[in-house]
Every structure is written in C-alpha cells, then in structure tokens.
Amino acid sequence: MATDGYPTAAAFIPPKPTLPRLREAAAGCRGCHLYEGATQTVFGEGLKKSKVMFVGEQPGDREDVEGKPFVGPAGRMLDRALVEAGIDRSEVYVTNVVKHFKYTMRGKRRIHQRPDSEETAACRPWLEAELGQVKPQVLVCLGATAAKALLGPKFKVTQQRGEFVDSELAPLATGTVHPSSILRAPDEEARHRAYHDFVEDLKIVASALD
Ligand code: URA
C-alpha cells in the first residue's frame, strides 16, 4: 500500500521470489527512509516449511548489528519460552513488520523508536512475500505494533492475547505480548508472572500445531 510521501518496498520485491532471493533483494531496500540510519536490513529467518511465523516489531540494536532477528535480549527470552512451551525452533520462522532498526541517539546509545504506520505500510510487501513463501499454519504477532498492523487496529493484545482471530494471512492467527515487555516488568515477581503468561500463550500455539 502506498502512503503519502513514502515510497514502498513493493518495487524491490523480486520476480519469482524465493526466501533466499527475497533476503538478497531486501538487503538493498530503499522503500522508506529507515535504511539510512540502520547498519543493514534484518530479514526474517527460519525454514520455508516452518509451521509457525512469529512477527515482532522491528530489529533492535543487537539485531541491527548481527543482521538477524531476535538475537538480542528479547530473542533470548523468546527462545527460552519456546522451549518451555514445547515449540521446536526448527518449526518457527521469525521476522518483523519493519526490517530496519529505527532509533534515536541518547548520548552514545541508540534508543529504539517505534515505527509509525507509514513505515510499517512501506515495509509490508516484504512480510507479505515472506507469508507467501512460508505459508505458516499459525501466525503469531508479538506486541501491539505487529498485532495492529497484521490483525487490525481493533485487536487488543491485553484482552485477546492467545485468542485466534480470523485473518486472511494464515489459517490461524493470534497475538501476544512482545518478549521485551517481560524484560521491562517493574520487579522480579511481575517479570515471573509476565513470563509465565507468555509461555501459556505459546502453549496454546503449540497445541494448535499438534
Ligand atoms: N524486537 C523485535 O521486535 N524484533 C527483533 O528482532 C528484536 C527485538
């Protein structure tokens, strides 16, 4: 979808896409301005035959440096929760609604900034192309940005987490909290509870896969 003042990634999608071709083309994406400040495009990772696709917001500082999604603290939290929920990592494809790190500088630190709806819309062709290749049985949005972008503005993570909703993007689609919100919990007890609830949501996904 084109949005006023922004180009989109649509022109960068290669003909006859495959995951490797998409990854290669995404590396040169100039579909919005976010490439300017980022180290590199962080494309999704996982096998084409993955049954579940997890979609986060955008790469963080670590992901931007390493060029892989969910390899920083939030990614480690996700990995741990997947193991606990009994979801095999090899059945999982992980990606983000926006493929470049958006940040602002605070001193020497790069502070995450939420992508806006134009940036999300500009990047959407990549996600649609990934969905077209992987065709996951279950789509899981991590956090409000992904949930709103993919499940619609009415989806409320706080109220509907773990609930499957109708979507043309996958046979089963749901959303839950972003693993980084667990890391931001105010104290140990809140963190413990948030992590437990996250694992419970992933267990719902696991049972849908059986
Ligand atoms: N947060 C996200 O939403 N995605 C990542 O890849 C890392 C952190």
As a whole number of angstroms, the distance between CA 19 and CA 204 comes to: 28
Q: Is the pLDDT of residue 63 over 90?
A: yes
Average the pLDDT over 13-39 and give the result: 98
> What's the rounded Cα separation, in Å, for the pair 60 and 33?
17
Domains of the chain from N-terminus onward: 15-39+48-107+120-209 (3.40.470.10)
C-alpha 165 to ligand 1 mean position (Å): 23
Residue 2 confidence (pLDDT) above 60: no
Residue 26 CB partners (closer than 8 Å, separation 6+): 9, 12, 41, 43, 99, 126
CA of 64 to the centre of ligand 1 (A): 10
101 Cβ inside 6 Å of ligand 1: no
pLDDT score, position 6: 61
Contact 39, 101 (CB under 8 A): yes
Give the atom of ligand 1 at the shortest distance from the alpha carbon of 146: 3
Whether the full predicted model's pTM is greater than 0.85, yes or no, is: yes
Q: Which of the four pLDDT bands, split at 50, 70 and 90, describes residue 210? A: confident
Residue-wise pLDDT for 118-165, tens only, equals: 999 999 999 999 999 999 999 999 999 999 999 999 999 999 999 999
Residue 1: pLDDT band with limits 50, 70, 90: very low
pLDDT of residue 143: 98
Q: How far is the first Cα of the chain from the last one, in angstroms, to the nearest whole number?
A: 35
Tell me, in angstroms, the distance from the centre of ligand 1 to residue 58's CA: 5
Convert the pLDDT of each residue in 64-96 to its tens digit. Answer: 999 999 999 999 999 999 999 999 988 899 999
- pLDDT at position 184 over 90: yes
